[in-house]
Amino acid sequence: MKALVWEGANELAVRQVPDPQIRNEQDAIVRVRRTVTCGSDLHLLGGYVPFMERGDVLGHEFLGDIVEVGPQVRNHKVGDRVVVCSFISCGKCWYCQQQQFSLCDNGNTNPMITENVWGSAPGGCYGYSHALGGFAGSHAEYIRVPYADQGAFTVPDAVSDERALFASDSAPTGWMGADLAGVKPGDVVAVWGAGAVGQMAARASVLLGADRVIVIDRLDNRLEMAQTHLGVETLNYEQQDIGAELLERSGGRGPDVCIEAVGMESHSGGPQLWYDQIKQQLRIESDRPVAAREAIYNCRKGGSVFVLGVFAGMVDKFPLGALMNKGLTLRGAQQHGQRYIPMLLERMARGELVTEHLATHTMPLDEAPRGYEMFKQKIDGCVRAVFQPTS
Amino acid sequence: MRWLIGGAVALAGGMVARRLFGGAGRGSDHWQRGQARPRGPRWHVATVNRPASDVAPGGQFPEPLAGLGDAVEVQVRPAAGDRGTEIAVRLRDGARLPVAAARRATSRDPEQAIRAALRESKQLIETSEVLHPDYPPTTESTPLNKPLQMATRQGRREGRL
C-alpha cells in the first residue's frame, strides 16, 4: 500500500510499504478515508522526538471504514465507518477503568523506552515513534487498529467525514484540557495556541459554561477563525500586552483556568524565544516552554493550568516559584479520547461542535509532503492539511 | 536537529547496553547509586486489575509465569485501594531458569526473563492476549536505525517493572 513515511529529520516521502495485518484477536484493519496533520507531528518531523526510524508511517488522527476484524472484535463489523482514538488502550487495566485511557498499561509494545525516560510508560499511539509503541500511522491506505472495540467508534450518519475526523484527536484533546482543568460556569479561561487543539479547548470551555474565553496566538488568520467559528475573544501576542489584557478582562484577578495548547516548539515575541532556541541547539534543554511559563505566570491565585501541548523532555526556567506560591494546580495529559469521543460525536451530530473549518487544505496522500510543508510553514493560512489516501 | 537523532540513538544504545550487561533492576538506578548495598534477587511486582481468583484459577498461573517453574518464588496478594492483585516474583538464590523461559529474554539476564513473563502474564490476565507490534514492519534496517531497533526489541520485554 501507499503511505507517507519519515525518512529522516525534515524528510518525508510517499512510498509503498507492506499492508498491515491482523496481529491480535482484538485487532481491526481500517481503510483510511481521511487523515490529518497534527502540530505534534512536527516534533517528530523535526527530530525533536528522537525515537523515529527511517520508514515509520506518520499520522494519528483519522477515520475510515473497517475492512477486516479479528475474531474477538464484538462491537464492530466490516463496513462500519469509524473514527479512531489516536491513543491505543486496552480498556481493561486499572488506568483504563479510571478513564485515564492514555495511561493504559497494555497499549504500548515498547514500554522500556518511556519507563526509562519518564519513569512509567503511557499507552501506545499511532504513528508517534517507537517510544509510544512503534505502531504504523494513519497517513496510509490502511491501518491496523489494536483493541478495536475500545478505540474505534462508529460515526453517526448525521456526521460528515469532514467533521468526524477531528473527533479522533483534536476535539477530545481540547475537551479533556477544559474538563480536567475544571472549567465551570462563570470562569475566565485563557488558551495559548489557536491551532486545532487550542480551538477545540476554547470551544469546550464555552460549552462547559465559561463566562469569557480568550485565545492567544500570533497568527491573525487563526485568531479570526476562532472568533468566527467559536465565538471567543482573541489576543495577538505580537501586537498586545498579554498580561495586561488578561488582567483587564478578568477583573484584575487573572484567568481562572489557563490552557497551554502549544507544546515544545512554542514561539514568543521577545528575547525568551532566542534564549530557548539557543539552549535547545546547545542541548541544554530539549523543549521550549514559553507558553507554559506565560500560562503559569498569568493564571490567577489558586487557579488551574493544564498542559495539552506535547512535551518530550526537559525545560529550563520553569516558574516553580509562581506555581507554588500562587497555589496553582498544574495538570497535563495525552488525550483520554475513549472517555469523550461518543459524547463529542453526539455534539457534532447536533451541530454544537463544528470542526470543518480546521481543514483548510485537503489533498490526496501523494501530496502529503507538500501538505506538511504548508502546515509547518503556515503557508496560505494552513491550519490543518487533510489527506485522502483512498479517494 | 540531526544531533537530536544522534543523541537518541546513543541514548537507546546506552539503554540496551545497560540492560545487556545487567545494570538495571539491581538497585543501580541513577538516584540510588552510591546507596545500593549488595542484596539478593529483587522482587519484581506487577499489579493486575483482576481479583486474585482470576490471576491463578485452579492454582495455575498463565503460561509465561508458569514457565518459570521452580526457579522463582511467586507471591500473590490483594493490591491496596481496590487496584486488583499484586503478583511478585523473584529468582531463588542460585536457581537457573528453564531453557524455554530463559529464551524469553534477549540477554542472559534472568531478571529480564522474569520481567517479560510478568508483563505478558499481566496482559493475558487483563486482556486475554499479549499485544504484538505491527508486522511486517515498514521501517528499514539502516546503520542509524539499528541501535533504536535493538532498544525496541529489548523494550518489548522489560522496563522498570
Among B2, B15, B161, select the one facing A9 at the smallest CB separation. B2
Q: How far apart are CA A29 and CA A76, in angstroms?
A: 11
SS3 content of chain A, % helix, strand, coil (to 5): 35, 25, 40
Q: Where are the beta strands (DSSP E) in chain B?
A: 44-48, 72-78, 85-91
Is B161 part of a structural domain of the chain? no
Name the grid cell of A144. Answer: 491496523
Q: pLDDT at residue A169 above 70?
A: yes
CB contact under 8 A, B133 and A134: yes
Q: pLDDT at residue B22 above 70?
A: no
Q: How far apart are CA A18 and CA A3, in angstroms?
A: 9
Over residues A218-253, the pLDDT tens digits come to: 999 999 999 999 999 999 999 999 999 999 999 999
Predicted ipTM > 0.90: yes
Averaged pLDDT, A259-275: 83
Higher pLDDT, A330 or A279: A330
CB contact under 8 A, A113 and B160: no
| Domain range for B128 | 2-33+41-155
Please list the alpha-helical segments (H only) found in B32-109. Answer: 52-55, 63-66, 99-102
Structural domains for chain A = 2-169+335-388 (3.90.180.10), 171-332 (3.40.50.720)
Instruction: Please report which confidence band the pLDDT of residue B119 belongs to, taking 50, 70 and 90 as the band edges.
Output: very high
Q: pLDDT at residue B161 above 70?
A: no
Asked if the C-beta of B31 comes within 8 angstroms of chain A's C-beta atoms, the answer is: no
Q: How far apart are CA B120 and CA A128, in angstroms?
A: 23
Over residues A32-60, the pLDDT tens digits come to: 999 999 999 998 998 878 899 999 999 99
Over residues B139-156, the pLDDT tens digits come to: 987 887 787 787 777 666
Averaged pLDDT, A301-305: 98
Q: pLDDT at residue B34 above 70?
A: no
Q: pLDDT at residue A91 above 90?
A: yes
Q: pLDDT at residue B10 above 70?
A: no
Name the grid cell of A171. Answer: 476535539
Q: pLDDT at residue A77 above 90?
A: yes
Averaged pLDDT, A347-367: 98
CB contact under 8 A, B133 and A109: yes
Chain A contacts of B3, Cβ < 8 Å? 283
- Min mean pLDDT across A258-262, B36-40, B52-56 is at B36-40
Q: Reading across the β-sheet that carries A212-217, which strands appear in turn? A: A233-236, A212-217, A188-192, A257-260, A304-307, A329-332
- Min mean pLDDT across A215-229, A375-389, B40-54 is at B40-54
Higher pLDDT, B112 or B53: B53
Instruction: Please report which confidence band the pLDDT of residue B14 belongs to, taking 50, 70 and 90 as the band edges.
Output: low
Q: How far from each other are the two terminal CA atoms of chain A, in whole angstroms?
A: 14
Among A55, A90, A109, select the one facing B132 at the smallest CB separation. A109
Averaged pLDDT, A122-141: 96
CB contact under 8 A, A146 and B148: no
Question: DSSP assignment, residue B133?
Answer: P
Chain A contacts of B159, Cβ < 8 Å? 111-112, 114-116, 121
Instruction: Please report which confidence band the pLDDT of residue A347 belongs to, taking 50, 70 and 90 as the band edges.
Output: very high
Cβ-based neighbour number of residue A15 at 10 Å:
11
Question: Structural domain tally of chain B?
Answer: 1
Over residues A311-341, the pLDDT tens digits come to: 988 888 899 999 999 999 999 999 999 999 9
pTM of the full predicted structure? 0.91
Name the grid cell of A301. Answer: 491565585
Higher pLDDT, B31 or A16: A16
Contact criterion met (CB below 8 Å) for A85 and A341: yes
Over residues B47-87, the pLDDT tens digits come to: 999 999 999 999 999 999 999 999 999 999 999 999 999 99
- The Cα of A169 is separated from the nearest Cα of chain B by a number of Å equal to 21
pLDDT of residue B32: 43
pLDDT of residue B61: 96
Residues 6+ apart with CB under 8 A from B91: B41, B71, B72, B97, B110, B111, B114
Q: How far apart are CA A285 and CA B3, in angstroms?
A: 13
**Hey, which residues does A28 pair with through a beta bridge?**
A69, A145
- The Cα of B97 is separated from the nearest Cα of chain A by a number of Å equal to 22
Instruction: Please report which confidence band the pLDDT of residue A365 belongs to, taking 50, 70 and 90 as the band edges.
Output: very high
Averaged pLDDT, B17-28: 44
CB contact under 8 A, A55 and B140: yes
Q: Where are the beta strands (DSSP E) in B22-140?
A: 44-48, 72-78, 85-91
